[in-house]
Structure 1
Amino acid sequence: MLTKKEIAFIILTKKQRIYWLSNQEYISLQKLFLNKEMKETIEMLANRIENIVINIYKHLHQHPELSFAEKETAAFIEEILQGENIPYRKNIGGYGILARIEGKNPTSRIIGLRADMDALLIEEGNNVPFRSVNPHVMHACGHDAHTACLLGAAMILNRIREIIEGTVLLIFQPGEEKAPGGANLMLQEGIFDDIKPDIMIAQHTNTDIACGDVAFGSGCVMASADEIHLTIRGKGGHGAMPHHINDTVLAASQIVVSLQQIISRRRNPFVPAVLTFGRFIADGATNIIPDQVSLSGTFRCMDEKERIRLKELIQNTIKATAEAYGCSCNIHIPDGYPAVVNDPVVTESAKKFAEELLGDNHVGEMEKRMTSEDFGFFAERIPSTFYRLGVKGPSNPECGEQHTAHFLIDESALKTGVKMLAWLSLRFLDKNIRIR
């Protein structure tokens, strides 16, 4: 396994990078590009840097960092950007980075490519040479692959920047896994105050899709996510004398049941929504009802108007149910992640471009999920598409699901991810492509 410095040396040697093209190869590259053979250009460059991208991925996988603690990850990314002479800003929304690759006519069209870079609080169960060296921290959602693919695409686009139009923004985002979300914080700190993309693109690994395949979907593809935190308070006491107390455990239990009736009876049946409580803390005993009970859960929805309406119903139901049992309830439902809504025009174009690159049989329909993604903050403001990258292959036929200790991608998926980001950038930089 290469060390950080060894990987950096391979990529960053200033006078002669190992994968660098010779003058003759560069002339051939220009001819390919000028002859509109862009796909061959991308294929050639992706092949040249495939092993480098794999090593970047392995390094990131081996050195995961939790949300908003991605200090070394960001420093590693910065080393690569510096070696490529790609200008960047750092420490946006935490350890976030915004890098810029300018071609000819840099303001003619601007494309934003986003990769998240945080890991999860999970002890890795994979027995691989590059398993996590950080106890109880693991890249179990594929953010290491996202970052490696974006760096690979950056190498390609930077190599041909003199013969492309427009500008590509590279967004390396912290804290996707933790509210309030790194995307949200980067926007709050003015990431696009100086330069704003016309469209945004992001990809995410998927273990249900084979390597070499991708999937797209228009409209709402992932749900919003709002955390619910409740503290029910009452007069505790002896379990054998319920007439002398206000039963906080019963009140909390009834709140859980009553809220499910909102989903089944008050929700618009044409709008997907889920309400789940995964934490119920009643710290009493067999014969003791505690003075307070804590509940925590999550509310997911695929329509913003319905989300707002149901959140109000949820709060009213909680308050009324607690009072019915002689209790009070502290309610905390902070605004979480919005739904991810893919722009139809951008998404249909991206799907068509993917078919050009990979072939029709390798591009499918993206299934909707009630999971959430803070990319929704970007998509609220900028026409965007968020698509799935297949990572299931021969090396991991029984790979674990995301957010589990045995999640691991097939490394051959990385080249597809690199090619997709580079290809979509080139195609969308064409001013003849409609994005509105």
Structure 2
Amino acid sequence: MQLIDAIVHQREELVAIRRDLHAHPELCFEELRTADRVVECLTQWGIPHHRGLGKTGVVGIVHGRDGGASGRAIGLRADMDALPMQEFNRFPHASRNPGKMHACGHDGHTTMLLGAAQYWAHGHNRHFDGTVYLIFQPAEEGGGGAREMVKEGLFTQFPMQAVFGMHNWPGMRAGTMAASAGPVMASSNEFSVTLRGKGGHAAMPHMTIDPMPVACQMVLAFQTIVSRNVKPLDAAVVSVTMVHGGEATNVVPHACTLRGTVRTFRVEVLDLIEQRMRKIAHELAGAFDCEADFSFVRNYPATVNTAAEAAFARRVMAEVVGADNALEQEPSLAAEDFAFMLQERPGAYCFIANGDGAHRDAGHGAGPCTLHNPSYDFNDALLPLGATFWVRLAERWFAEPA
């Protein structure tokens, strides 16, 4: 593993920053303290920055040896927000904000990018001609912070030819990294169906129009879309995750609501699923004399890496961790709003292995160290590795022909 010595020597400082962020998690578009911490570091290191893009976003500006005169530029993105969940860990840096937790490692992502910034704070370490934009993005967890930064002029105020992001990945052996071309994360979409019947006494069901058995059949019918309408080689998920109906055991409710998520890699598959769900909802409800209100919201598009940039990122990984440890990432049906940036610029979403959880301090929760789990914690051993990767990625990108 070829780590940059100057970054390794700053490991303890980076760990302190990461654990401070972990102890003070903030939800989407509320990352005021987190942004303050980022700005404090950039200011201390003499790196110019712009604040407020996407409400709470921060963009650091690192000019190379030429002062940015070449016009070439690259963007490196880290997300900053936490999740609305209670942490089970009891180690000293556990969340101090009830009901909020860094359970996806955004504290680590932010710190790895700060590690690269700290290295570049010394002008003699800027071994490139061009400009690196350090994108500290808010509201990845459902708020669409990347979309908002793009809307507010990320790529017009800070022109760049490519953009890269990175996420930790539990379960992968620590010391490995991954990148692959094409879809790596799925689109995220939500649906809601409200069935309206006629309520009444549960002992006299013949005098009611009961929406509950209709809802039960609809849950099963939705599953046939993936098993019988979607091509078997196309990945898709339809999950009903919420069923709300009824207020008393002896009352047939007048309405019932189903809600859930749909995940796909291809828009054509998503179009098919939405069409079939809408038809099933209305026609199945009609068969039982119920009415149905159906809504479908497309939140995040699929995260699709451009082939050249994914191959380039993996070459840089091979230089840092060795060819045997630079892997292709298996696509995941989780979602990521970095997709909005990749719709505007070529780039790649990369992965850095977080290990199996053995790194966690005493006092961690009993659950596994997986994403969105209350016992999760970011692996601090990744901080020098992730920062080194960002530095080498930028250096190699500017070294290649425009």
One fold, TM greater than 0.5? yes
Whichever residue aligns with residue 26 of structure 2, its letter is: E
The reply to whether residue 178 of structure 1 matches residue 146 of structure 2 is: no
Structure 1, 203-212 or 160-169: larger mean CA deviation: 160-169
Q: What is the TM-score normalised by the length of structure 1?
A: 0.86
- Candidates 388, 393, 396, aligned match of 1:427: 396
Identify if the C-alpha distance between structure 1 residues 195 and 79 changes in structure 2 by more than 3 Å, giving closer, same or farther: same
Give a deviation string over 1:249-299, Cα, whole Å, max 9, x none. Answer: 122222211111111111122210000011101123333111111111000
Of 60, 75, 84, the residue aligned with 1:99 is 60
Distance change in 2, residues 1:378/1:235 (3 Å): same
Q: CA deviation at 1:405?
A: 1.1
Alignment partners' CA distance in 1, 2:230 and 2:127? 53
Match of 1:16 in 2: none
**Alignment partners' CA distance in 2, 1:316 and 1:48:** 61
Alignment correspondent of 1:68: 29
* Runs of 4 or more consecutive aligned structure 1 residues displaced over 3 Å after TM superposition: 160-163, 396-399
Number of residue-to-residue matches in the alignment: 393
**Aligned pair partner of 1:166 in 130, 148, 152:** 130
| Residue 149 (structure 1) shift | 0.4
Alignment of structure 1 residues 167-246 onto 2, 5 Å = 167-179=131-143, 181-246=144-209
Determine the structure 1 residue equivalent to 2:318. Answer: 355
Greater shift, 271-280 or 281-290, is seen at: 281-290
CA–CA separation in structure 1 for the residues paired with 2:308 and 2:33: 38
Q: 5+ unaligned residues in a row in structure 2: which ranges?
A: 362-366
What is the CA-CA distance between 1:361 and the residue it aligns to? Answer: 2.4
Conserved? CA contact 2:75–2:162, under 8 Å: yes
Q: Which residue of 2 aligns with 1:408?
A: 377
* Cα shift at 1:396: 3.5
Higher relative contact order, chain-length normalized (CA < 8 Å, sep 6+): 2
CA contact (8 A) 1:399 1:409 kept: no
User: Match of 1:338?
Assistant: 301
Determine if the alignment matches structure 1 residue 395 to structure 2 residue 359: yes
Q: Report the CA distance between 1:116 and its aligned residue.
A: 0.6
Q: Which runs of 5+ in 1 are unaligned?
A: 1-38
> Contact 2:73–2:131 at 8 Å: present in 1 too?
yes
Moved more, 143-152 or 379-388: 379-388
Q: 2:46 & 2:246 partners in 1: Cα distance?
A: 57
Determine if the alignment matches structure 1 residue 110 to structure 2 residue 110: no
Q: Residue 375 in 1 paired to residue 352 in 2?
A: no
For residues 162 and 356 of structure 1, do their structure 2 counterparts lie closer, same or farther at Cα, with a shift above 3 Å needed? closer
**Could you tell me how far 1:338 is from its partner in structure 2?**
0.6
Matches within 5 A, 1:279-294: 279-294=242-257
Deviates more, 1:391-400 or 1:293-302: 391-400
Contact 1:399 1:408 in 2 (8 A): no
Shift of 1:129: 1.4
Assess if the C-alpha contact under 8 Å between 1:117 and 1:143 holds in 2. Answer: yes
Contact persistence 1:213–1:364 (CA under 8 A): yes
Letter of the aligned partner of 1:318 in structure 2?
A
Question: Any conservation in 2 of the 1:108–1:431 contact (CA below 8 Å)?
Answer: no
> Letter of the aligned partner of 2:62 in structure 1?
I
Residue 247 of structure 1: how far off its partner (Å): 1.4
- Give deviations 1:396-435, integer Å, cap 9, x for gaps: 39852111111013311111111111111111122427xx
Distance 1:361 1:53 in 2: 27
Q: Secondary structure of the equivalent of 1:100? A: strand
Q: Distance in 2 between matches of 1:196 and 1:247?
A: 58
Q: Is the 8 A contact 1:337 1:374 kept in 2?
A: yes
1:384 aligns with 2:347: yes
Corresponding residue of 1:307: 270
Q: Which amino acid aligns with 1:172?
A: F
User: Over residues 15-67 of structure 1, what are the superposed CA-to-partner deviations in whole Å (9 max), with x where a residue is unaligned?
Assistant: xxxxxxxxxxxxxxxxxxxxxxxx98x61221232221111101101111112
Instruction: Give the 3-state SS of the residue equivalent to 2:171 in structure 1.
Output: strand
Aligned match for 2:211, one of 235, 240, 248: 248
Q: Deviations over 1:380-404 (max 9, x none)?
A: 2211111111122752398521111
Q: Structure 1 residues 399, 262: closer, same or farther in 2, change over 3 A?
A: closer
| Alpha-carbon distance in 2 for matches of 1:113, 1:226 | 26
Contact map agreement 1:340 1:372 (CA 8 A) in 2: yes
Confirm or deny that 1:48 pairs with 2:9: yes
- What is the aligned counterpart of 2:93 among 116, 123, 130? 130
The residue number in structure 2 matching 1:10 is: none
CA separation in 2, counterparts of 1:85 and 1:399?
40
TM-score, normalised on structure 2?
0.93
Q: 2:224 corresponds to which residue?
A: 261
Alignment partner of 2:233: what SS? Answer: coil
In 1, distance between residues paired with 2:108 and 2:338? Answer: 17
The answer on whether the counterparts of 2:184 and 2:332 sit within 8 Å (CA) in structure 1 is yes
For the residues of structure 1 that align with 2:117 and 2:15, how far apart are their CA atoms? 15
Task: Please state whether the residue corresponding to 1:336 is helix, strand or coil.
Answer: strand
Secondary structure of the structure 1 residue equivalent to 2:10: helix
| Equivalent residue letter for 2:280 | T
Shift of 1:163: 4.2
Q: Counterpart of 2:203 in 1: which secondary structure?
A: coil
Partner letter of residue 96 of structure 1? Answer: G
2:313 and 2:350 in contact (8 A); partners too: no
In structure 2, what is the Cα distance between the partners aligned to 1:365 and 1:229?
A: 36
CA offsets, 1:149-196, max 9 Å, x none? Answer: 0111112234246542111111111111124x1111111222222223
